[in-house]
A and B are shown apart, each in its own frame.
Chain A
Amino acid sequence: MRTSVKSSLITITFLGISLSCSNDFLDIKPKGALSATQVADQKGLEALLVAAYSMLDQVGEAIPATGTDAFVTGASNWVYGGITGGDAHKGTDEGDQPNINPIERYEASSVNNYFNIKWGVLYEGINRCNSVLKVLANAQGVLDTEIKRIGAEARTLRGYYHFEAKRMWGNIPYIDETAADPGKVPNNVDTWPMIEADFQHGIDNLTPTMPHVGRVNSWIAKTLLAKAYMYQKKFAEAKPLLLDVYTNGVNPKGLKFGLNPKYHDNFFMPSKNSQESVFAAQASVNDGGGSWNGNAGDVLNFPYLSGGSPAGCCGFYQPSFEFANSFRTNANGLPLLDGSYNSPANALKTDMNVESSASFTPDAGPLDPRLDWTVGRRGIPFLDWGPHTGKNWTRKQSYGGPYNAKKNTYYKSQSGSYTDKSSWTEGYTANNVNIIRFADVILWLAEVEVEIGSLTEARNYVNMIRARAANPDGFVMDGAAPAANYMIDEYPVGGPNDPFGSQATARVAVHFERKLELGMEGHRFFDLVRWDEAEGTLTAYLAYEKSILLQLQGATFDTMDKLYPIPQRQIDLSGADILTQNPGY
């Protein structure tokens, strides 16, 4: 064999190898994944939209920084609306979730990761809405009516996520689907008009009924717009919307909105999505999503009994003394609007520093029955788990106080059917987070009437709420008898017990009714701020509470604390020229 032949063969072989395969060989598409073009049809749009809805619980496994810490961000706002509003303490043990300690003391700095994670989930919600809208703009073969509906759902949700961010931070970037680089959108523009426009778009383009109860419809968009108005004190704009919702509103399945006959039906899983549920984050368990579609945000907020906790784990979100005391009623079944509920004579009797092995008799005085659907306390049946046994149901009573959260908990009989049992705790439940209940709408109407309308009307609205609460069928029962001395009545017309004689006292009554009715539902802090009452109320709250709990000593509420700090991390990433920190931080 001649060398020239060999050489040329080798050359050819090498060339053949090198030329033939480079492009195909190095072109590997991602596996088990979709590209943007694959989702650009009706089916893809629907799925993108579901994902936008799925952020309503403000939790997702793969969302950076939430991961296993779903409880940081949950839609219930137990940290940002509940604890800081004075409804509750962080609770449990001082070493657990220490980032909440400075938040509870109004000392949190912009580097506290809790704010960063909250920011992350809300903007992920916004991002998902914009994903829908971007794809929608180029989608082929989708009916115009469908485009209209999908777009309106996405925009309504986008408005809601921005609204959540707006009331947390005040100065936020508004991101729509046209933003070239969302990370470079500044927070120096008033975003209320854009939020209102999103809701208005929903009102104009959504139908009253929808294929699923969990979607937004035109009535929900209207309620959300009204809520946005309430936060801006635009009572005149809010009033017609609220009246319309009150009079004509239906849920996406066509069910007319109304109050449930029994207060607790709002927190009882089999009756969720009832007539009173206007807008909720849906929760599901055992659906193939691990525990991530359950109410993961509240997963820590169950009593803590070492060895066999009733209803899950961890003992967080323990109602405050001040909050529990608020449920004291006078002999007429009316709340003590003068704040005297904290006086030694009126304060709720507690088992603070009483071992579970020692005997204890619960308070015998008159109480609003909603207390025992809101606050777990010793001696009172805790759903169907038997009576709360006091100190041993708290992780560290000297730190968190004697109470437990109750609205988010499940019944023992619901274990496995409405809870997920596959993980470290059973506290992942199918309990929806009530974002707006019809009671909310009624109390906003009362507010509006106090501010720009008729005090009589306001009284009527508040009394609707109180009348429902007074339904004895809805009391917590201990055997055949009410579990405590429940005494509740409607406000009378006229006389010394009627606060609706003047605007000032009527306002106190309406605001107080919200505290009682919607307590532990994550609204309180935001309500106090929008009423301009945060400084006064929370300073008084701290003064009372720190007289009992060591860890609040030295804490003060300052003007700056009405807004949370823009996460420093986001400022670092976007640039200080893009995101401006809130004053004082």
Chain B
Amino acid sequence: MKEVYKSSIRAMLLFLWLALAHSATAQERTVSGTVKDEGGNGMPGVNVLIKGTNIGTASDATGKYQIGVSSDNAILVFSFIGYSTQEVSAGVQSTVDVSMVPDTQTLNEIVVTGYAAQEKKDITGAVGVVKAKELLAFPAANAETLLQGRVAGVTVTANGDPNGLPAVRIRGLTSFQNNTPLYIVDGVPTYNIQFLNPNDIESMNVLKDAGAASIYGSRANNGVIIVTTKKGRAGKVTVSYDGTVGVQMPGKGLESQLLNPQEMAELEWLQKSNDGLPFSSPNYGSGPTPVLPDFLVPVGASEGDPSVDPSLYNVDYAKGPIYQITRANKQGTNWWDAATDPAPVQSHNISIAGGNEASRYMVGFNYYDQKGLFIGTGLKRYTVRANTEFKIKDVVRIGENLSAAFYDRKPLWEGVAVHTLQPIIPMYDIMGGFAGTRGSNLGNNAGIMGRLIPNEDNFSSETKIFGNVYAEVDLFKDFTFRSSFGGSLSNSYTTRFTRHYYENSENNGSNSLQENSQYENDWIWTNTLTYKKKLQQHSFLFVGGMEAVKEGIGRRLQGSRIDYFTDSPDYRSLATGSAGIQNTSTYLTPSSLLSYFGRLDYNFADKYFLSGTVRRDGSSKFSNQFGVFPSVTAAWRISQEAFMQGSSVFSDLKVRVGYGSMGGQTNVRSQNQYDIYSGRPTDAYYDLGGTSTSSLPGIWQAQIGNPSGKWETKETVNVGLDASFFQGKFDITLDWYNQTTSDLLFQLDIPSANGSGVRPYRNVAKVANTGIDLQIINRGNITPDLKYEANLTFTTVNNEVKSLAEGITFFDVDAGSTEGRIGARYIRNEIGQPISSYFGYSVQGLFQSANEVTSAPTQTGAAPGRFRFVDVNGDGSITPDDRTFLGSPLPDFTYGLNLSLSYKSFDFTIFLYGAQGFELVNYRKWSTDFPTSFQNRKSKAALYDSWTPERPNATTPIATSISNISTNQGANSYYVEDGSYLRARNVQLGYTLPLNFARKIGMESARIYIQGVNLFTITDYTGLDPEVGSLPTVNNNDLTVTYSDSGFGVDAGGYPTGLKQYILGVNLKF
């Protein structure tokens, strides 16, 4: 690496020299004028630039400007966001007045794609563009969430947990594991943009096909999202404040589907009666009808019982045996209400931007505070951004984009049993101690308050600095050299104390403290040379460059101790724990990437476009280090043809076609090629000396390497159409694509005879996705004052596993870790099926009689009232061979409809998002619908709709204590439900102060709005939320994120995403 640094110094010296060597002189005169808006009012802040130079200014508060020009040939360019850019020849005039026209056509928009910026009309690949205004439509901790429904072909599964990450998937699932796209933020790559303040984002451009993305080479195959942050503009200083305050409502959970304490007792009696067991329970007595006890602890005690003596009460282990006294809550505790609270959310953002000819800047501050749904959880984030750029001698630009974010997280450390903790348990015992499952027959859950309340003292904090510095030099007339060095630095600290529980049926042995600290850094250095030339009708753009990346440089440190003298938060340090001393650290293996790339765009007369890109990437993750990823695209802008001129229908019509390949390496660990030996005490140490308290160090082969791994390759074909017609009233973008990923890296299992070391990632599978992305925009005026815009996105993806490793036709996945409970895996990934398909027995109905059991195919555990499965292969016997595919979590299509209306100063927006034609596994039913699945809270279905001879039409099996595949064991279609939904993601009503009034009070503009998020969801799904995705799992202890898309759609009780929020917001500009 020494050589890289040397080279970098050489390059920097070169810039400086070039910059100083170049100079410009000119004679100047002044042109002035007024810029007006569509209403004839003076328009402030409009950029005025002399074309072909960097000389510019901005209009003042009354719309007036003046600028020096050096030639009569000078062309003035007037631009303002949301308005068409106008070019006016200055000629010999000294006054140039301009009326700006709102931009309904976005064709001239500059879009940043791979290492270059181009006008939207010139784009030949499949690119989705989202502007700042759309991104800020509703508040969210994560900018990715805001992409939902905005770009056809992009699916975003939101995450209701403020500390969670949404899952962004571009054009389906390519891989069984990590399908996260690559984000390029101001030229710096990352896979997680949680640190970004959404207010700082200027645009997010989604590169969907190889034509657009393959210049990012070996990391592009999940798609690339180019994020550009806001820059200052020459002109006066603008200060804006954007603020929201709101509240997220927890809703009612699933309380209405669940039993109250009396019903729980009745269900137990029903079950005993079905099983022919005597009516008897430590809690409910032994009469013909169950009677709720007065106390749960002491078990079954009644009022006045001598054991219910507060003087005996003790919940302090140090003072002797626990003696808890817990009164039964006969009315029932509403655990959803107890565990949740309306959660305030607020965001305050100030940004200051401005600049002049020589320098421009944007500084942003943001404070974001979102409480979680569950009490004591939440996220606070503070971000600062400073983007600046300086011009030196007209031909050199030096700048930086930098953001610093600090997070203060209070995650939900452990799941809470809001739907399965028995309602007879109160929140607190008679002395105010925590109540839980201590008692008898109260299940194996942990009490909820005893988890949530103490956890408020735990936290996880993180500081992340992300950004780049760059220099650009205009070398000759048409060449620009750019060098950018960027990266990120992150540091985190986590401290987590766990009480010594006393209130539960299963308590831990001691209190304990665990602390983690880590740092992780990445850097990237990019150098490009751009050549841009127009020769009559021929336009060329060439970009050539090289890039070096190093990622994952870091270490983690972790320690824990137990047996703290006190639970007091002030006492918690590793030094003060008395036993169980554990400490460990992890040394991350970084990965590096060295790349060379080129891009050539050519068009003739703005009609015929041809573009090619190629990238050669070398990665430290493989021994076959280098791969080459080319693409070629072409477009024909038919509307520019003579025969289309004067068409009253089309103002723009373009067809695009592209082919290319992209690489993938995100699914492979950096040390994958190596056999690794390791000596962790947990795996290889052994107490040879028989000491009972110490062990000798051992070393084992902890990883099996794959020295022959190589890149994943994704080939895509894309055919697209862009059309704008009826004078811009309609825009349509339609893309069809077919993409095949081969040599997919997957950690496929190998025979255990080869040892148990971590399995290598091997190039084993092939997956295909085809689909259509459609976007239709319709806009217009209903009356001169009433304007509307409807923006529909529509996405279909057909996913199919084409092949797996040799000899392997499927593999099963334990999604949601449910196997330990149901004894089976719900998910099968099989050739010919979509990724993550549900697999199990198909329920034909419930056995109605002993006769039916006898006449039906033989089935283990068959009995009246239990599941009867379909004998798929017709062999007269229900065996694992009768399992079949039961559905898929991948929707037939997803759609987003954004409808905006504006009437004078009022604006109204509604954004609907939906997914149609997919299934979910409602795993909660295992716990709530079967009395035999632990003694936890059960559903109304189990009591009122379970089979008995008197209820032959019941759909829920008989209440019994027998557990086998005919009752509660095994994956079957009983759990599978339609997940389709339509959700009102956002409804917003805004009012903009009249300009004159705003100015009177010192503002350039002011808008106030009210907003409702997730106001309604239409779905038949009976679980908490149909938006169940393959959400990344964030490890609260070390903040590492794991991804798996090979098994999802199993609703194992995650954080709900579709909670209602009510928000009040203001946008002020000074």
- A residues near B (Cβ < 8 Å) are 1, 3, 6, 9-10, 13-14, 16-18, 20-22, 24-36, 38-39, 44, 47-54, 56, 60-64, 69, 93-99, 101-102, 107, 109, 111-113, 116, 119-121, 123-124, 126-128, 131, 173, 175, 179, 181-183, 185, 212-215, 269, 272-273, 282-290, 292-293, 304, 306-309, 313-314, 353, 355-357, 391-392, 396, 398-399, 415-426, 430, 432, 550-551, 554, 569-570, 572-575
Contacts and interface: CB of A to CB of B under 8 A. Distances in A.
B677 A183 contact: no
A13 B963 contact: no
B624 to A, nearest CB: 11
B620 interface: yes
Interface stretch (B67-75, B156-164, B931-939): B931-939
A121 B690 CA distance: 22
28 contacts: A6-B475, A20-B6, A20-B7, A21-B1, A25-B4, A32-B586, A32-B587, A47-B679, A50-B685, A50-B699, A51-B699, A52-B698, A54-B683, A54-B686, A94-B932, A116-B752, A121-B756, A123-B755, A124-B755, A126-B753, A183-B751, A212-B690, A212-B696, A284-B692, A286-B580, A287-B693, A391-B282, A430-B693
A34 B589 CA distance: 13
A36 B933 CA distance: 47
A357 B671 contact: no
B778 interface: no
Contacts of B507: 307-309
A282 B690 CA distance: 6
3 nearest CB pairs, A to B: A307-B438, A183-B751, A50-B698
B594 A22 contact: yes
A30 B589 contact: yes
Task: Tell me if B's interface is mostly helix, strand, loop or mixed.
Answer: loop
Contacts of A29: 589, 674
A573 B684 contact: no
B325 to A, nearest CB: 12
A129 to B, nearest CB: 11
A22 B679 CA distance: 32
A33 B698 contact: no
A309 B501 CA distance: 12
A47 B436 CA distance: 46
Contact of B592 (A17, A28, A183): A28
Contact of A287 (B592, B685, B750, B934): B685
Contacts of B679: 34, 47, 51
Contacts of A30: 589, 670-671, 674, 676
Interface string B721-759: 000000000000000000000000000011111111011
Contact of A51 (B529, B686, B822): B686
B47 interface: no
A6 B687 CA distance: 69
Contacts of B752: 116, 119-120, 123-124, 570
A79 to B, nearest CB: 14
Interface in B995-1040: none
Contacts of B524: none
Interface stretch (B129-137, B212-220, B273-281, B338-346): B273-281
Nearest to A424: B508
Contacts of A95: 821, 930, 932-934, 963, 968
Given A20-B4, A175-B753, A357 B282 contact: yes
Given A48-B698, A62-B683, A391-B282, A123 B688 contact: no
A21 B4 contact: yes
Contacts of A574: 751, 753
A51 B691 contact: no
A432 B962 CA distance: 35
A426 B963 contact: no
A14 B164 CA distance: 42
A212 B962 contact: no
B357 interface: no
Contact of B509 (A26, A126, A419): A419
B506 A314 contact: yes
Given A95-B963, A287-B685, A421-B563, A35 B677 contact: yes
B589 A31 contact: yes
B713 to A, nearest CB: 19
Contacts of A423: 508-509
A183 B3 contact: no
B692 to A, nearest CB: 4
Given A13-B7, A13-B14, A306 B674 contact: no
Which secondary structure dominates where chain A touches chain B?
Answer: loop
B562 interface: yes
A521 to B, nearest CB: 19
A171 B643 CA distance: 80
Contact of B681 (A34, A124, A287): A287
A436 to B, nearest CB: 15
Contact of B961 (A39, A102, A112, A399): A399
Contact of A53 (B676, B682, B688): B688
Contacts of B701: 127-128, 131
A97 B300 CA distance: 28
B784 to A, nearest CB: 56
A562 B502 CA distance: 44
Contacts of B529: 10, 14
B456 to A, nearest CB: 21
B890 interface: no
A401 B963 CA distance: 16
B692 A283 contact: yes
B288 interface: no
Nearest to A578: B751
B509 A287 contact: no
A1 B473 CA distance: 15
Contacts of B750: 183, 573
Contact of B699 (A48, A173, A313, A391): A48
A493 to B, nearest CB: 40
B678 interface: yes
B579 interface: yes
B310 to A, nearest CB: 18
B798 interface: no
A356 B282 contact: yes
A51 B700 contact: yes
Given A33-B678, A418-B692, 16 more contacts: A13-B14, A25-B4, A26-B618, A28-B591, A51-B699, A53-B686, A111-B880, A124-B752, A131-B700, A183-B754, A289-B681, A289-B682, A306-B439, A307-B322, A357-B300, A573-B751
A182 B590 contact: no
Contact of A44 (B1, B436, B699): B699
A60 B695 contact: no
Contacts of A551: 961-963
B677 A39 contact: yes
A501 B450 CA distance: 66
B697 A50 contact: yes
B321 A308 contact: yes
Contact of B620 (A27, A102, A282, A307): A27
A134 to B, nearest CB: 10
A308 B297 CA distance: 12
B606 interface: no
Contact of A61 (B619, B682, B861): B682
Interface string B276-310: 01101010000000000000010110000000000
Given A17-B11, A357-B300, A33 B683 contact: no
A33 B674 contact: yes
A306 B322 CA distance: 12
Contact of A6 (B18, B322, B698, B861): B18
Contact of A14 (B527, B675, B808): B527
B277 to A, nearest CB: 6
Interface in B124-181: none
Given A1-B21, A183-B751, A306 B686 contact: no
A469 B7 CA distance: 82
Nearest to A187: B753
Nearest to A94: B963
